[in-house]
Chain A
Amino acid sequence: MAAGPSAFQSRLAKELPPLLDNAQLDFKAKDDFLATLTCDKGNVLKLGKILSEKFGFEHLSLITTVDRIERFELVYQITSYQNHCMLEVRVAVPKDDAKVPSVTPVWGGANWHEREAYDMMGIVFEGHPDPRRILLPQDYKYFPLRKDFKMDGE
């Protein structure tokens, strides 16, 4: 993987901000495969639609939830097979209003990833077709991956 952005990444850096009303994106190309950008939580679904329809990002690889003590963070890793590029989108989620629009209408594969994110961290995805717990019993009261939850349980 060579250092320096590829032609596709330069194109992304130029064309994405105007499509999102010139929001602050912090687009950075790490090498010719991986690029990172940050996104506001209200713009997530719009960004997903633009990436999937205009730029050919067909595959949502992973949705990670991170507990950064003062806020939550969601990291979406989206891959484009045809353009050989992976985008890491970071979304900051405040702890007192942990609601994010769901990207299931764009990528069907996000369905179970978002259920697991809710199950483990407690972030609610608005518009999700099946917002239930997936790994723990349905009546479990806690969210295990939060930093204030101890490993051996309640």
Chain B
Amino acid sequence: MHALAPTGVTMSRSEARDGDFSSYMHARQPSLMRTAYLLTGDRHTAEDLVQTAFAKLYLSWDKVNDRGSVDGYVRRILVNEHNSLWRRAWKRRETSTDEPPDHPHHDAYDAGTGAELWDLVQTLPKKARAVVVLRYYEDLSEAETADALGISIGTVKSQASRALATLRERAPHTLNPREEDR
């Protein structure tokens, strides 16, 4: 899997390692950045989070023998790093303002109700929000979500159920169809 230099000269081990890591980082970065934004609701915090997650992955790159497991590994770093932002959580609460959340993008589908639902997602407790993002954006199974968050499948179920109940209670009627949620 290690690359060769364009001249055909074999790269040094560290160059090959860095090339290997860079390829992975560039491929995976957009997706992780989106997940981080959904977890944090703030562009700058999301960028910091992804940079930290990649830095920690970089430090462990030689130890990750199974390249197939890297996606799950870096996602776990991302989520754990987000969960350990204890100080920031308190700071956010102390300095909370009436400013609306940062909206990076509204597409044509969004006639306003979408932004409203997104606002509601941002009010969920951190753990419930992480479950929502991994289950309904990343499309992970309950077991995969439990693994990424380091919690039991039962907790994933209860958090997801409670989060949907909260959203259902607060969402506008137009976003509240009487269909059974999975």
Q: Do A and B belong to a common assembly?
A: no
Interface residues of A (CB under 8 A from B): none
